[in-house]
Chain A
């Protein structure tokens, strides 16, 4: 008996094992690596193990000891990976400007001479600030990426302070991302809710046609759809051609490479995610509720506000959440249709990940985005479970 249930359970686990492995390999593991990238900071520690040893117990205010200088020279001489050396230099330079020239001069000297005195190679090696930068970068974990993702940094004494204006763009871009996502969500709602009502009120082939029209964007490639908007929205595109042709405007109004174009194209692409949840909730509302409301003396408008709208809130909430969460991760559409001022946070992540190989920053921005999304979802879960308790 227990043996047979044991094999049964084993068979069940074996059946879902491929799925679990798939999720683990292609979802959980990458997520975990990206998240750990955002706090890991081993570029310096990996290359300078001897220095780390020698710097233990060093008073950061005093000049560097001879052992530290020797250890650093040995460490640097042992480095063979030029890319790792570049990473370390970049890391140190961002903590203390001047490291780039200092490092290149030092490595050049090390190639000529066997273990020179660093203080003689460059006078700067005698100043504590450069050593403070090295020691500060030796810890394997860091919060500087996460802080930088929201435009914060630590000052010399380790307090969290705002970054200087000119160096901080993430918060602006993040806010812009939410603003664009909110605009798109609103537009989707304004179009999607009446549209869902229209679908729910029709039958037969008309319903199929209306549903098909909204589902069509889901069946075509995102790139094709975006390119299509490119054609329609440009200055000599369809819309401007009509507007000027009908003498509504004297010249073409700018619809592309600006916020308007981005919102139009994203609304189109994300509309199904708004329409479908609302539509399915509307279908579940018995139509005699509206009849009952009107028989009880409610004007159609009041019946809508008091009965249909509250009953479809669940669909509106899930649709809005779906659209908003998808919108904040949008990349291609703003990149192609937006102007320089319309780039969203994903472009920044893509820039760090592929443009400058700064996985720490890319990971940190991703983590912030994920945290906000989870927060939104938690709020939604709270609201909908409160709703459910009514039965």
Chain B
């Protein structure tokens, strides 16, 4: 990691006997966009609140730029926080809200005016400068909150589900906007979300949380294509999981024996011992359907359902031992429920997870 900015060093946070963040380690580099992704109650907000200084760790240390910040009060931490509910000051205009952090830093009037103008331009709200927050739409308020957190050029920007309250179109627009700002300004961003597609779209790295621990951390591609646990495979996107036992090598992967004796060739990250229990994850969009027989990695199945979902066709297969979900191109309209087909997938698209 080039330039270390934040380090969570074995951080634990307990409320009574319940530890909502459990011995967690996480390094974030300067200029990195890291998403914290996980189900509700997994401790994402708690971690962010500890970084911002609203909560203190029960155990462990947090370092920023090499310094332990546990005893630094929030107002000296120099971190911009965007709250899920925006937390704009209702008694100040948009311009005054954005000027607030600059005033707190004793910056001169002229410079404040200039910087507010610049950041308002950036979030395309120049016309709203003298409005009250209550007169803005949700998306506009969100951008004001963003502008306020960015205008003082903080070391880190923390965002706690900032897009949660927006409708889908606006949310996707804002995702791209924030991403573009990140690239342009080289910001270090920690972004909390429980929307997996949001995390995939925006992040350099995603940390998948489960019960106060990080299950896996990596680039969106790593997380999606090579999940390391059943939880991650299930949580990020839809997948088909087959239980089996490792039974020798195949190419640069392994052969997995299914309970009924058939074999699947699959890719794996590291060497696995024969006889080990594993799961094979196959993404729905990586499965092809045809009626040719022969070759590896194919299973005979019957179509039980076929649903048109706009950008793809979602097909349910019954293979006897398993139910499969397959996403096909929406033009593949010939598949009707009841038809017998062969489900086929490349060894590269089958990923082995230790179970």
| A-to-B contact residues, CB < 8 Å | 286, 288-289, 291-300, 302-303, 306-307, 310-311, 390-391
CA distance A286 to B84 in the complex (A): 12
Whether A297 lies near B152 (C-beta < 8 A) is yes
Cβ of B78 to closest chain A Cβ, rounded Å? 7
Decide if A291 touches B74 in the complex (CB within 8 Å).
yes
> Taking the complex as formed, is B15 at the interface, i.e. its CB lies under 8 A from any CB of chain A?
no
User: Roughly how many angstroms separate A314 CA and B294 CA in the complex, as a whole number?
Assistant: 79
CB < 8 Å neighbour of A296 from B91, B101, B132: B101
User: B104 near A292 (CB under 8 angstroms)?
Assistant: no
Considering the complex, give the chain A residue whose CB is closest to the CB of B80. Answer: A295
> Which residues of chain B have C-beta atoms less than 8 A from A310's C-beta?
91
Check B52–A295 contact: CB distance below 8 A. Answer: yes
Q: Please count the residue pairs between chain A and chain B whose beta carbons lie under 8 angstroms apart in the complex.
A: 69
Whether the Cβ atoms of A292 and B132 lie closer than 8 Å is no
**B135 at interface, CB cutoff 8 A:** yes
Q: Within 8 Å CB of B199, what residues of A?
A: none
Chain B residues whose CB sits within 8 angstroms of the CB of A297 once the complex forms: 75-76, 78, 101, 104-105, 152
Q: Are B74 and A307 in contact (CB under 8 A)?
A: no
Of A289, A296, A310, which is in contact with the most chain B CB atoms at under 10 Å from its CB?
A: A296
Q: Are B100's CB and A288's CB within 8 A? A: no
**Assuming A295-B74, A295-B80, is B135 touching A391 (CB within 8 A)?**
yes
Q: CB of B90 within 8 A of chain A?
A: yes
Complex: A302 Cα to B22 Cα, angstroms: 35
Interface majority SS on A: helix, strand, loop or mixed?
Answer: helix
Residues of B within 8 A of A288 (CB): 83, 85, 87
B73 at the interface (CB under 8 A from A): yes
Measured CA separation A358–B226 after assembly (Å): 96
Which residues of the other chain, A, contact B90 by a CB distance below 8 angstroms? 311, 390
Please name 17 pairs of A and B residues whose Cβ atoms are closer than 8 Å in the assembled complex, sorted by A: A288-B85, A289-B87, A289-B89, A291-B81, A291-B87, A293-B100, A294-B74, A295-B79, A296-B80, A296-B104, A297-B76, A297-B105, A297-B152, A298-B100, A310-B91, A311-B91, A390-B91
Q: Say whether B83 contacts A291, CB under 8 Å.
A: yes
CA distance A294 to B83 in the complex (A): 13
B81 — which chain A residues lie within 8 A by C-beta? Answer: 291-292, 295
Q: A292-B81, A296-B101, A297-B101 are in contact. List 11 more A-B contacts (CB 8 A).
A: A286-B85, A288-B85, A291-B52, A291-B74, A292-B87, A293-B100, A296-B75, A297-B75, A298-B104, A302-B104, A310-B91
Closest beta carbon of chain A to B47's beta carbon, Å: 15
Complex CA gap A53/B81 in Å reads: 87
The answer to whether B73 and A294 have CB atoms under 8 Å apart is yes
Question: In the bound complex, how far is the Cα of B53 from the Cα of A298, in angstroms?
Answer: 13
Provided the pairs A291-B83, A390-B132 are in contact, do residues A299 and B89 lie with their beta carbons within 8 angstroms? no
Chain B CB count within 10 A is highest, among A291, A295, A302, A310, for A295
Known: A294-B74, A295-B80, A296-B100. A307 touches B89 (CB 8 A): yes
C-alpha gap A129/B153 in the complex (Å): 88
A316, B90: Cα distance in complex, Å: 17
Given A297-B101, A298-B100, A390-B132, residue A292 in contact with residue B75 (CB < 8 A): no
Interface of B with A (CB < 8 Å)?
A: 52-54, 73-81, 83, 85, 87-91, 100-101, 104-105, 132, 134-135, 148-149, 152
Q: How far is the CB of A144 from chain B (nearest CB, A)?
A: 49
Find chain A residues with CB under 8 A from B89 CB: 289, 292-293, 307
Q: List A contacts of B149 (CB < 8 A).
A: 295-296
Given contacts A289-B87, A390-B91, whether A294 and B134 have CB atoms under 8 Å apart is no
**A300 (CB) vs chain B CBs: closest residue:** B75
Pair B75/A298 contact, Cβ less than 8 Å: yes
> Which residues of B are found within 8 Å of A307, using beta-carbon distances?
89, 91
CB contacts (< 8 Å) of B101 on chain A: these are 296-297
- Contact between A286 and B87 (Cβ–Cβ < 8 Å)? yes
Docked Cα-Cα span, A296 to B79, in Å, equals 7
Residue of A nearest to B145 (CB): A292
Chain B residue contacts of A303, Cβ below 8 A: 75
Minimal beta-carbon separation of B90 from chain A (angstroms): 7
What is the minimal beta-carbon distance from A83 to any residue of chain B, in angstroms? 62
Closest residue of B by beta carbon distance from A298: B104
Q: With A and B bound together, what is the CA distance between A279 and B83 in angstroms?
A: 25
The distance in angstroms between the C-alpha atoms of A311 and B105, with both chains bound, is: 22
> Could you tell me the distance in whole angstroms from the C-beta of A301 to the nearest C-beta in chain B?
10
Using known A-B contacts A289-B87, A307-B89, A310-B91, determine if residue A296 contacts B148 with beta carbons closer than 8 Å.
yes
Q: Which residues of A contact B80 (CB under 8 A)?
A: 295-296
**Residues of chain A with a CB closer than 8 A to B135's CB:** 391
Q: Are A292 and B91 in contact (CB under 8 A)?
A: no
Q: Which residue of B lies closest to A387 (CB)?
A: B91
Of B75, B77, B100, the residue contacting A299 (CB under 8 A) is B75
Q: How far is the CA of A311 from the CA of B104 in the complex (A)?
A: 18
Q: In the bound complex, how far is the Cα of B74 from the Cα of A294, in angstroms?
A: 6
CA distance A214 to B73 in the complex (A): 33
Inter-chain contacts of B53 with A (CB < 8 A): 294-295
* Min C-beta distance of A387 to chain B, whole Å: 9
Alpha-carbon distance between A303 and B105 when the two chains are bound, in angstroms = 13
Which of A295, A306, A311, A390 is within 8 Å of B75, CB to CB?
Answer: A295
Please, how many angstroms separate the alpha-carbon atoms of A72 and B98 in the complex? 83
Distance of B50 from chain A, by nearest CB (Å): 13
Given A390-B91, A390-B134, verify A294-B85 contact (CB < 8 Å): no
CA distance A298 to B87 in the complex (A): 15
B87 near A306: Cβ-Cβ < 8 Å: no
CA distance A276 to B327 in the complex (A): 60
Contact of B54 among A291, A299, A300, A390 (CB under 8 A): A291
User: In the complex, are the beta carbons of B132 and A391 less than 8 A apart?
Assistant: yes
Q: Which residue of B lies closest to A307 (CB)?
A: B89
Question: Is the beta-carbon distance between A296 and B134 smaller than 8 angstroms?
Answer: no
A216 to B149, CA, bound (A): 45
